[in-house]
Structure 1
């Protein structure tokens, strides 16, 4: 089973994905981390030098490769992965996709001091988040099998919501969920 997480930058995909993988006993992979390993540099420096189109080419190849790997996996994708139709189709057909949905205002609260996200290094990051959200929200929705409203719960609460959704969908057993829900009490940071 592959569970893929999609959503806006700063929406909690990596944080929730790591915790979910621990609780569900699955391998965790962050597509952005895999891309940086392949590039041998940060996404930001590559993005600045080569541009978004070249970055998206590499991202598409990495996501396609990750979806072909054997074994159970939680895959956190980059915020813009859904911009390519090939990624949307591959994710939807080869994994169970969960959209971690946050409003631009919630994202701005979390990201206002983040200097590592190339698309947010602009004069008005909140306006940029609103523009990105308007463009990407419909793509996340059409890619996802399920949408989880993030809001402001703890990581543990979000992971429990995801596990319960997967159980309701018949993708993991009730026993597996019962054994993991509430197990990560030390993981109470905000997503």
Structure 2
């Protein structure tokens, strides 16, 4: 079996914990972490906000697809953290399935708001009613995330170690070592 199917891909809305979970899961499972947003920034030599300003959302979404295609060419097992909008393109959802096990980190609007309310780099939170906008986008995106997922992990009320343990136990359980196992 190809190593690619052993990749673990993290999807979900902004603030769901993809980056933090990715870093910690990478360490726990001893797999390289690839963040698609950072991959695109490195390739383009610009920040995501600069790409959006210069090429628009559609241009950025095409870059996400190209990044996924390039990941299909890589060998080895990886943890892949995606941007929140990446699964919204059907082509990207198909590529995610080819890449490995897709994990949807499901989060409530309240948790997103609490985690990000002080972050002035998120345009979404600069709206007149950010909670309303978060709810609106979750209503659109959650069914898409769910349809693309092999595994769904609810993150509300859990610390990162609980989330990582759940993912490692399901998607990467064979790699856990005795000292990493947790007791329930």
Does the TM-score normalized on the shorter chain lie above 0.5? yes
Paired residues in the alignment total 177
Q: SS at the partner of 1:52?
A: helix
Q: Residues 12 and 145 of structure 2 are in contact (CA less than 8 Å); yes or no, is this contact kept in structure 1?
A: yes
Once the 2 structures are TM-superposed, how far is the Cα of residue 131 of structure 1 from its aligned partner? 1.3
Partners in 2 of 1:44 and 1:118 — Cα distance? 9
Residue 25 of structure 2 corresponds to which residue in structure 1?
A: 20
State the Cα distance separating 1:165 from its structure 2 match.
1.7
Which structure 2 residues correspond to residues 71-90 of structure 1 after superposition, within 5 A? Answer: 71-90=76-95
* Mapped partners of 2:86, 2:163: distance in 1: 22
How many Å separate the matches in 1 of 2:24 and 2:120?
24
Q: Say what the alpha-carbon RMSD is for the aligned residues.
A: 1.6
- Secondary structure of 2:176's match? helix
Q: CA deviation at 1:120?
A: 3.7
Match of 2:133 among 122, 128, 148: 128
Partner of 2:41: 36
Task: Report the 3-state secondary structure (helix = DSSP H, G, I; strand = E; otherwise coil) of the residue aligned with 1:51.
Answer: helix
Unaligned runs of 5+ in 1: 183-191
Report the TM-score when normalising by structure 2: 0.90
**Cα deviations by residue, 1:7-63 (Å, 9 ceiling, x for unpaired):** 001110010011001000100111111111112121012212321111111111112
**Contact kept in structure 1, 2:26 and 2:32, CA below 8 Å:** yes
Aligned partners of 1:7, 1:93: CA distance in 2, in Å? 18
Within 5 Å, which residues of 2 pair with 1:64-75?
A: 64-75=69-80
Instruction: Confirm or deny: 8 A CA contact 1:115 1:121 kept in the other structure.
Output: yes
Partner of 2:3: none
Task: Tell whether the 8 Å contact from 2:65 to 2:91 is kept in structure 1 after alignment.
Answer: yes
- Is 1:50–2:50 an aligned residue pair? no
The unaligned stretches of length 5 or more in structure 2 are 1-5
Q: Given that residues 64 and 87 in structure 1 are in contact (C-alpha distance below 8 angstroms), is that contact kept between their aligned partners in structure 2?
A: no
Contact 2:71 2:99 in 1 (8 A): no
The answer to whether the Cα contact below 8 Å between 2:105 and 2:155 also exists between their aligned partners in 1 is yes
